[in-house]
Amino acid sequence: MSIQTKIDTIIKSVGSINIQDFVEISNFDKESGFYNKPNIEKIGKDGQFITSPEISSLFSIALANQFLKEFPKAKNVNLLELGPGNGMLTLDIYHYLKSKNINVNKITLLERSDYFKGKIFGRSDVKVKFIENIYEYEIDSEDIVFIYSNEFFDTFGTKQFIFNNGNFNEIKISKGNNKYFLIQDSVAISGELIDRYSKYKFKNNDILEHSNLILNILHDIQNLNCKNYFFTTTDYGYTKLPLKSTLRLLSSHKKLNLFDKFENVDYSFGINFELLRDLFISKNPKIINQKDLIFNNLPNEYLKSSDKNIRKIIELISGEKFNDMGQVFLNLSFKNDETISKI
């Protein structure tokens, strides 16, 4: 059954569907969701959009060096990637660490797309274990764990609320006379949202995006029981609420408007890095933009290279080309070691 038919069935039975559920079904429906559907290239030149690890392994080298700066004496490492997609980032980090004579003893990938699991499994010459929840991650040694993600959180379904006359209403999708339209539904959690985001002065028609799905996974990361780990995550996002919709639809490398098309579309949101920082505040997280991530961590042999191709790649992966709607690619990282108590 197509995504559009699934959405229409829900609207027909309950009158509407909220944005979070709409995006979750469109992206992750087991049968026809964008990330599960077989036989369509998803990420890369022949896919619907491109990401930094797909452009070049220089992005992975920068991330690996960001880790090595925090754990310069690392000898035995476990890798844990959240949302690997085609798996390029982990493969490149693995080879880079090996080239530095570091033992990579275990590779775990948190991935819920059967399409990507099959793709990585079929291609990888390195043994990997797949998990679908962070709490399934097995901590079984004294190895340092390197946890990383790129464009992972932006695929999570997120609710959208609109502020009007002192309250938040939820934005939902409905359909009539064969046309889709947005409606506003009053919600019981309006007061909770006003409290949670109390430092913001909302004006009529401001939009608030909030994802309990992201909060759940961040809580699982907080509860990880590893002694020594480094966490680094890069995504398209903001440190102050933009108060407007950040929902983006991409298909064949082009931006679409909501309802232009329902199949083979990637839906993503900007990520609230302020929320991420607040959740991990006891770890002193650092937020930098992707440009600084690259320039602070890529070895000079690349940064100072006069090779035209390398210069072009650095320009691309330092993020500026991807920036949009006042948002940039941001990176949040922190280190946990046994001397610091559990969050």
* 318 within 8 A of 303, measured Cβ to Cβ: no
Residue tagged 């480094």 (tokens): 230
H helices of 57-143, in order, are 57-70, 88-99, 114-123
Closest CA to 245 of 324, 175, 320: 324
Q: Is 34 among the residues that bind ligand SAM (CB under 6 A)?
A: no
E strand or H helix that includes residue 7: helix 3-14
Q: Is 285 among the residues that bind ligand SAM (CB under 6 A)?
A: no
Q: Choose, by CB under 6 A, the member of 16, 20, 33, 35 that binds ligand SAM.
A: 35
Q: Minimum distance between the CB of residue 111 and ligand SAM, rounded to whole angstroms? A: 5
Q: Is 70 among the residues that bind ligand SAM (CB under 6 A)?
A: no
- Tell me the window of 46-54, 168-176, 180-188, 237-245 that interacts with ligand SAM (CB under 6 A): 46-54
Q: Is 56 among the residues that bind ligand SAM (CB under 6 A)?
A: no
Q: Is 270 among the residues that bind ligand SAM (CB under 6 A)?
A: no
- Tell me the window of 94-102, 106-114, 238-246, 277-285 that interacts with ligand SAM (CB under 6 A): 106-114
Q: Choose, by CB under 6 A, the member of 116, 197, 230, 236 that binds ligand SAM.
A: 116
Determine the size of the site formed for ligand SAM (CB under 6 A): 19
Q: b vs e for 78-93, b when ≥16 Cβ sit within 10 Å of the residue's Cβ?
A: bbbbbbbbbbbbbbbb
The Cα–Cα gap between 108 and 93 comes to 13
DSSP 339: T
Q: Is 230 among the residues that bind ligand SAM (CB under 6 A)?
A: no
Closest CA to 287 of 238, 327, 320, 250: 238
Q: Minimum distance between the CB of residue 17 and ligand SAM, rounded to whole angstroms? A: 19
Residues within the interface to ligand SAM (CB under 6 A): 35, 43, 51, 53-54, 83-85, 89, 110-113, 116, 150-152, 155-156
